[in-house]
Structure 1
Amino acid sequence: MVTVTETTKLTRIGAVLLAAPILANLDATSVGVATEALAGSFRAPLSDVQWVSTGYLLALGMVMPVAGWAGDRFGAKRVWIFAVAAFTLGSMLCGLAWSLPSLIGFRLVQAIGGGLMNPVGQAILARVAGPSRIGRLMSMLSIPVAFAPAVGPILGGVLVHELGWRWIFFVNLPVCLVVLPLAARLVPAGEGTGDRAQRLDLLGLALLSPGMAALVYGLSSAADGGSPMAVWLPVAAGVALVVGYLVHGLRGKGVPLIDPRLFARRGFSSATGTAFLLGASLYSSMLLVPLYYQRATGAGVLAAGLLLAPQAVGAAFGALVAGRWSDRSGPRRVVQLGLGLAMLGTVPFALLGGGPFALLGSGPFALLGSGPAASVPAWLLSGALVLRGIGLGAVIGPNVAAVYTSVTREQASRAASAVTVVNRIGGSLGTAALTVLLQAELAASASPAAAFGHTFAWSLALTALAFLPAALLPRRQ
């Protein structure tokens, strides 16, 4: 039986471990709003400024695979505190950057912390919560993932407009400086072996991290309209390196960064498969929805961020409710219901530019903005975003919990790294693929709304595919 004191202690630990990832996610999504301001401040072209974001993603791909080994070797608490300290230092240096190359370099320091915080924090919570409360805690940890894409652009727009782009980074400092001493006091000591014999898998690192970085770079180039050589060469190199890592992980001696044998466990492989497809659907929608409001309805950056807020509110509600339900009934039903709600919330966007709602696209139901009238009314799209948010929020926490309940206690850190890496790969692939598809649809269609509608139909299909691995999730924790 769980006492009130234990629940309060667990909540405090979760709140501390939640604060820094919230900042990291807010930072990652708010920097995009400052692109024009950075270009003007440093008098640099957008093709150079975009490396402020792309370089950060590349660095994340390099760092994430190391998180599991570092937590096992040095202790999860120490690694997490180091990650927050690195993120704090990187934020301060970014705010003080004197040139574009210095800003890009300091963003890499920030990414060291950002890449370690989520997987290591999840591993700590998995150990502290135990199987009976893992769904509840993972759902709480998923809230910033859903909130950040909506709040980040709003926060970034306000800071850039009122104080300047440097405050996007300076705003992190007071929160991080409060979190660090709280973590030192509240977070339980990790179980690092301290064993120098537990060496870092250097060959695996040389294969997996550059492979991840090459994939992210190639996909980012595809989304930015890069040349075929700039897209396919790094993608091919990335795939070759990742395949080489899989061979090494299965045949090599010692403990690999991410053990491919974990995927032989049904619960783990089904949960990571769901995380991959969920990442593709979630991250791509975070690009498509605000872009639709800006391109098709004429909304500004701040207005587009506000119009995305209903999904964030729905996701927070879905995460809180799903966690308790998952702990009682197991993840399969909760994840399947969440996917169904997410699909239902995507349908109105797939009907943009036509469909049964075409007659409602005028008068009091017209979408806000100065662009062409769409075929789906504003109130229906806002309601759909709430429903979609509830569904996505309900899926993330129970699915991550299923990862931890399918592995041993000793494998938790490396399992956290694996599911985070797979989720980000899915997000990169989904975002790049749907961005390229949208560009082709916009070029071929006379109606921007119709182009977005066709692209959202593919996002709907990605969510539907997630039912396949979700059907293999365990019925009980």
Structure 2
Amino acid sequence: MLVGALAVLFDTTIVAVALHTLSIELNAPISTIQWVTTGYLLALAVVIPITGWAQRVFGAKRLWLIALAIFLTGSILSSLAWNAGSLITFRVVQGVGGGVMMPLMSTLVMQAAGGKNLGRVMSVVSLPAVLGPILGPVLGGLILQNLHWSWMFWVNVPYCVAGIILAVIFMPADGPVRRAPFDGVGFALMALGLVGVLWGLSNTGDDGGFGRSDVLWPMLTGIVLLVAFVAWALPRGAKALLDLRLIKHWPLASSSLLLFLSGITLYGAMLLLPLYFQQLRGMTPLMAGVLLVPQGVGTFLSRSIAGRLSDRMSARWLAVAGFALVAIGTLPFAFATGQTNEVWLMAALLVRGFGLGAVTVPLMALGFRGLQRSEVPDASIITRISTQVGGSFGGAVLAMILTHSVASATTTAALTSGFQHSFWWTMGFTVAGMLISLALPGRLPR
């Protein structure tokens, strides 16, 4: 399953560094090319809520193979796209497959673990999320520098094919499936609500930020629809698309809130850091990707340690320590200029990455502690949505802050000040996460 999931994570991080190139190659403005990413994220959000229902109806193995085949089809079609419109359409196809795969992987591995050694298990499940930010930007930079842009999508094909073959051979056969009624009203409310919120957040990078009508109205509409979904789903319990009664389970509720904040610190900074190296220091996308490798290495090194520790102690102090390390690793960028020593910044990124792993792994494991096997699919969806929306919110807020800070910058000093201001906001979100971590359960629930 990890092999197939690598295709989804690589694809997300590779495409993120290619928007400028795609704008030139496909002769389309950035405002249009942004939908290559936005359309993918919206498709992802629409299908995540139905994963639990689809698993019950189709069976886990069949659903995994279907989702991976859809993602493979979308990758091949994207590589053959002839204009911006066709590429956006095919990216939506990819999003449908990827949106099912990520929560389904967590569900199946957590169910197989049977509630034991969840920290160690989650440290393995998180491997694609770690390798994506390490290798994705570097691979994307190499492709854009030496090959045609279509190879960004062809690189997914070997992972998808290998993932399908391995799944057919090694995944256990599905048991009997059952017919389950589909909560159409709940799906419409939740899917449209998530689309509205994410669509609004994706427009905040333009002039006007959160005050724009194409930001406010989609977001407000989305929030209203999500509130309506809560009102619809709570009385129906397990019959709803998503059993929201699980939020009463404090380990899941607290970990979801912290995963939202960790999504802000991770994805928000993943927007700022490449721009800092490219705009302020004049580096190529490839060089910026190489300089970001230490952050991924730090996460890779810390995830197994964090996994073992989270099986022996409470997630509270692990998360506090992790957020503290993220803050320490971010602080040098709040003072950095265009001449700051690169070795010093790479060391800071190593510490920052170590903190991210120390936060993410125990929080993801905590959300599943004390749950019944039948409750794991809905818990996977809740934690996935928390991370997804947190990342979108963090990216939107920090993009708006950076845009406002550098909008009138005509000198290097003004540009430097704008980036420093944005990194101080990142510090604020990180400190908030550290303080909220104190409310996590102090003991491991049975």
TM-score by length of 1: 0.88
The residue type paired with residue 455 of structure 1 is S
The residue type paired with residue 387 of structure 1 is V
1:253 Cα shift?
6.5
Of 38, 48, 65, which aligns to 1:64?
48
The residue type paired with residue 408 of structure 1 is Q
Structure 1 residue 184 corresponds to structure 2 residue 168: yes
1:341 Cα shift?
1.2
CA contact (8 A) 2:141 2:289 kept: no
Q: Deviations over 1:243-287 (max 9, x none)?
A: 111111113475222222111111111110110100011100111
Structure 1 residue 395 corresponds to structure 2 residue 359: yes
Deviates more, 1:42-51 or 1:162-171: 42-51
Of 24, 32, 55, which aligns to 1:40?
24
CA contact (8 A) 2:193 2:224 kept: yes
- Among the aligned pairs, what percent are the same residue? 38
CA contact (8 A) 2:71 2:95 kept: yes
| C-alpha distance in 2 between matches for 1:291 and 1:147 | 21
| Partner residue in 1 for 2:125 | 141
| Partner residue in 1 for 2:415 | 448
Q: Deviations over 1:28-69 (max 9, x none)?
A: 121133323333333222222221111111111111111122
Structure 1 residue 432 corresponds to structure 2 residue 396: yes
| C-alpha distance in 1 between matches for 2:74 and 2:393 | 27
CA contact (8 A) 2:298 2:352 kept: yes
Structure 1 residue 200 corresponds to structure 2 residue 182: yes
CA contact (8 A) 1:143 1:393 kept: no
The residue type paired with residue 204 of structure 2 is A
| C-alpha distance in 2 between matches for 1:297 and 1:87 | 36
| Partner residue in 2 for 1:294 | 278
| C-alpha distance in 2 between matches for 1:259 and 1:225 | 39
Q: Deviations over 1:414-459 (max 9, x none)?
A: 1101110111111111110111111122236643222212211111
| C-alpha distance in 2 between matches for 1:138 and 1:303 | 31
| C-alpha distance in 1 between matches for 2:270 and 2:130 | 9
| Partner residue in 2 for 1:340 | 324
| C-alpha distance in 2 between matches for 1:39 and 1:470 | 41
CA contact (8 A) 2:319 2:362 kept: yes
| Partner residue in 2 for 1:11 | none
| Partner residue in 2 for 1:251 | 235
Tell me: CA distance 1:441–1:262, structure 2 relative to 1, closer, same or farther (3 Å).
Answer: same
**SS class of match (2:439):** coil
| C-alpha distance in 2 between matches for 1:256 and 1:141 | 28
The residue type paired with residue 430 of structure 1 is G
Q: Deviations over 1:189-232 (max 9, x none)?
A: 456x6222x21211111011111111111111112447711111
CA contact (8 A) 1:25 1:148 kept: yes
Q: Counterparts of 1:73-88 in structure 2 under 5 Å?
A: 73-88=57-72
The residue type paired with residue 212 of structure 1 is L
Q: How many residues align?
A: 439
Q: Counterparts of 1:226-305 in structure 2 under 5 Å?
A: 228-252=212-236, 255-305=239-289
Q: Which structure 1 residue ranges, 5 or more long, are not aligned?
A: 1-16, 354-371
Structure 1 residue 219 corresponds to structure 2 residue 201: yes
CA contact (8 A) 2:183 2:239 kept: yes
Structure 1 residue 53 corresponds to structure 2 residue 37: yes
Q: Which structure 2 residue ranges, 5 or more long, are not aligned?
A: none
The residue type paired with residue 463 of structure 1 is T
Q: Deviations over 1:452-473 (max 9, x none)?
A: 1221111111112123442233
CA contact (8 A) 1:142 1:393 kept: no
Deviates more, 1:381-390 or 1:168-177: 168-177
CA contact (8 A) 1:267 1:472 kept: no
The residue type paired with residue 365 of structure 2 is A
The residue type paired with residue 397 of structure 1 is V
Structure 1 residue 324 corresponds to structure 2 residue 308: yes
| Partner residue in 2 for 1:379 | 343
Q: Counterparts of 1:102-121 in structure 2 under 5 Å?
A: 102-121=86-105
1:300 Cα shift?
1.3
| Partner residue in 2 for 1:365 | none
Q: Deviations over 1:345-378 (max 9, x none)?
A: 111112235xxxxxxxxxxxxxxxxxx43xx432
1:148 Cα shift?
1.6
Structure 1 residue 465 corresponds to structure 2 residue 432: yes
The residue type paired with residue 159 of structure 1 is I
**SS class of match (2:399):** helix
| C-alpha distance in 1 between matches for 2:314 and 2:166 | 32
Alignment root-mean-square deviation, CA: 1.9
User: Which runs of 4 or more aligned residues in structure 1 lie more than 6 Å from their structure 2 counterparts after TM superposition?
Assistant: none
| C-alpha distance in 2 between matches for 1:75 and 1:333 | 38
| Partner residue in 2 for 1:364 | none
1:153 Cα shift?
2.0
**SS class of match (2:135):** helix
The residue type paired with residue 48 of structure 2 is M
| C-alpha distance in 1 between matches for 2:143 and 2:433 | 37
Deviates more, 1:267-276 or 1:162-171: 162-171
TM-score by length of 2: 0.94
| C-alpha distance in 2 between matches for 1:409 and 1:182 | 25
